[in-house]
Amino acid sequence: MLGMIVGSASIITVFGISEAATSGIAATFTSLGQSPVLVQVDAAQDYPEQAQIQYRDTALVAASLGPSAASVVPSWSRTFPISSGSIREYVSVVSDGAYHTDSLAMFQGRQILSEEVASGARVVVLTKDLSTKFFGTQTAVGDYLRINGSRFIVIGVFADIKGSFINSLGGSTTALVPYSTFHNDLDNGPPDSLLVYPTDPSNADAIARATIAALQHIHGVRAQYNSTNLAEQVSIFGGVLTGVGAGLSAIGAVALGVAGIGIMNIMLISVNERTREIGIRKAIGATRGDITLQFLMEAVLLSLGGGSTGMVIGLLFTISAVTLLSKQIGEMTVPYALIVSISLTFSILVGTVFGSYPAIRAARMDPIEALRS
């Protein structure tokens, strides 16, 4: 039973934490909205400057893609000095369009509108940490910031994304401005990349090829570009987490195998010690099936006892770990029903598999020889 407790607890803990973490990360990425296809210049080509994406390419690519692309957005990310009164910080400033499919909550105000992109309005949306840094507990919306010397009005502040892990990936101190304003007032150089949002997300690979073809039509067939399906990257990341959890669970399953061997050994000893009992039962009419069922049930009950105890311990470890990890990853869901069903299934399976041989051996005993012993 001790082997079953250790094996079951280890599998439940690893599986529960991995599933909860995967669900938490997936939910957070889902809240960020539709993932675009990112197209950028291949720096390994002979003359990358000839293939350089230009701001004017955005409209040409969008026209080429037509209705298959919901939005085509040039993307910049730069670090600029931002100041408000006597406070001055160097902050990551990112370009943004008006195509928003996310479900991110706003702490104050709103996100950037298409009219503001079209007019090149000097508006900015801040993360909550950045708002606190410049305005403290006061309302930031309607106030002004200077970004690289230009005056911008704050129109919105994002609420915190739960989970410092995601914040560390995306940046907890970031300012977003319309991409047209970024180009006109902050950096009139070429964009870092193009972000293309497919109308049909399942058609992302075809959209990537069409975008590259449109850029090669503009810059020449020798221009080389790389594309990244960010939705696919998120899916791969989730798959890696699931694979790691499955691998670690498989290692824990080795402990269950060892526990099963222990159950088989103790049941074989039990059969030897209860030979006379088996002989008496057979002498008064017990069939082989009766004897097999008796010893098989004993093995299964031993396995279930250890597995159930391990399941409770594993759940306690899982709940404790999820409570701690939720601060790093965000809200996570523990699949309790799945955990319980897996634990009980494995326990019954181990008891049945490793209890079968001792049960069959007991059933095959000759009653006369058994009584003589």
Predicted confidence band at 44 (pLDDT cuts at 50, 70, 90)?
confident
Predicted confidence band at 115 (pLDDT cuts at 50, 70, 90)?
very high
In this predicted structure, what is the pLDDT of residue 161?
A: 66
User: Within a 10 A sphere around the Cβ of 235, how many other Cβ atoms?
Assistant: 14
Predicted confidence band at 49 (pLDDT cuts at 50, 70, 90)?
confident
Q: Do 82 and 191 sit in the same domain of this protein? A: yes
Q: Do 296 and 360 sit in the same domain of this protein? A: yes
Q: Do 51 and 189 sit in the same domain of this protein? A: yes
Among 198, 228, 258, which residue terminates a domain? 228
Supply angle C-alpha 29, 114, 105, rounded to 5.
35
Q: Which of 369, 46, 63 is nearest to 210 (CA)?
A: 63
- Maximum mean pLDDT: which of 10-19, 183-192, 238-247: 183-192
% of the chain with per-residue pLDDT over 70: 93
Residues in the chain: 373
Report d(CA 239, CA 236) in Å as an integer.
Answer: 5
Q: What's the pTM value of the predicted model, to 2 decimals?
A: 0.66
Predicted confidence band at 345 (pLDDT cuts at 50, 70, 90)?
confident
Q: Is the pLDDT of residue 311 over 50?
A: yes
Domain span at residue 293? 2-28+235-372
Do 370 and 274 form a contact (C-beta atoms < 8 A)?
A: no
Among 228, 260, 275, which residue terminates a domain? 228
Lowest model confidence (mean pLDDT) among 32-41, 180-189, 238-247, 279-288 = 238-247
Helix (H) and strand (E) counts in the chain:
12, 11
Q: Do 267 and 335 sit in the same domain of this protein? A: yes
> What order of strands is seen across the sheet that includes strand 69-75?
69-75, 193-198, 37-41, 225-229
- Maximum mean pLDDT: which of 33-47, 77-91, 245-259: 77-91
Q: Do 179 and 58 sit in the same domain of this protein? A: yes
pLDDT in tens, 121-173: 999 999 888 899 999 888 999 999 999 989 999 999 988 765 544 444 455 78
Q: Is the pLDDT of residue 241 over 50?
A: yes
In this predicted structure, what is the pLDDT of residue 169?
A: 46
Q: Do 206 and 64 sit in the same domain of this protein? A: yes
Q: Is the pLDDT of residue 295 over 80?
A: yes
Number of folded domains in the chain?
2
Q: Do 215 and 353 sit in the same domain of this protein? A: no
Among 208, 228, 248, which residue terminates a domain? 228
Question: Mean per-residue pLDDT for 109-116?
Answer: 92
User: Within a 10 A sphere around the Cβ of 272, how many other Cβ atoms?
Assistant: 12
In this predicted structure, what is the pLDDT of residue 165?
A: 46
Q: Which of 256, 263, 259, 255 is nearest to 358 (CA)?
A: 263
In this predicted structure, what is the pLDDT of residue 276?
A: 86
